[in-house]
Amino acid sequence: MKTQFFTATSLDGFIADADHSLAWLFQFSEDPGEEYEAFIRDVSVIAMGSHTYEWLLRHMAASGDAWYYQQPTWVFTSRSLPVIEGADVRFVSGDVRSVHQQMQAVAGEKNLWITGGGDLVGQFYDAGLLDELFVQIAPVTLGEGMPLLPRRIATPPMKLLSAKTNSAGFVMTHYQVLYGVQDRQAGA
């Protein structure tokens, strides 16, 4: 089981605009692409930030779409949020380590996907729990917004596993997170 962050970012490093909206991303194809399809097949649980969850609720209400995910989803929040009928959504708060253990018990041998919330991903990194990043870099700039990963990760740097382009003009990157001995001790 790996803990992975799969996201799209603007060329200037934002995953959502200043209003926490992902609308900028939907000018591209509705087809999620073969990279996403291959990725999601191996995901059995999802960790999600509260702003991403709220944006999905608004998007579902406006579009009439149903909840997108079959996987159990843990939403990290300090606020009360609406419940989606029929969806396996669990609201949690606090240290990501204890929640990660709960998620691992459900995940089995499949992967855990952190979606939405650069700070949430940063908390998993800080705890020494983040294994990989899949970052799709879109050919747009937003100027401001929610940063991709608001953490300094410099020593050791991440290891680039692959990079390619897709038909929408995105650069698709896949990184392995490497931790120094000091980093692992701090996160453990």
**Which domains are assigned to the chain?**
3-187 (3.40.430.10)
* Cβ neighbours of 16 (radius 10 Å): 27
pLDDT at residue 63, rounded to an integer: 81
Q: What is the pTM of this model?
A: 0.89
pLDDT at residue 32, rounded to an integer: 62
Buried b (16+ CB within 10 A) or exposed e, 35-49: beeebbeebbbbbbb
Average pLDDT per 10 consecutive residues for the chain, totaling 188 residues: 95 93 83 78 95 89 85 95 92 95 94 91 96 95 95 92 90 93 49
pLDDT at residue 30, rounded to an integer: 63
Instruction: Give the span between the Cα atoms of 38 and 101, in whole angstroms.
Output: 25
Instruction: Give the span between the Cα atoms of 128 and 95, in whole angstroms.
Output: 12
Q: What are the E-state strand segments in the chain?
A: 3-10, 14-16, 43-49, 73-76, 89-92, 111-115, 132-138, 146-147, 159-165, 171-176
Nearest to 51 by CA among 114, 116, 123: 116
- Exposed, middle or buried: residue 30 (CB in 10 Å: 0-12, 13-18, 19+)? exposed
Check the CA dihedral 136-138-143-145 and report its sign: negative
pLDDT at residue 27, rounded to an integer: 87
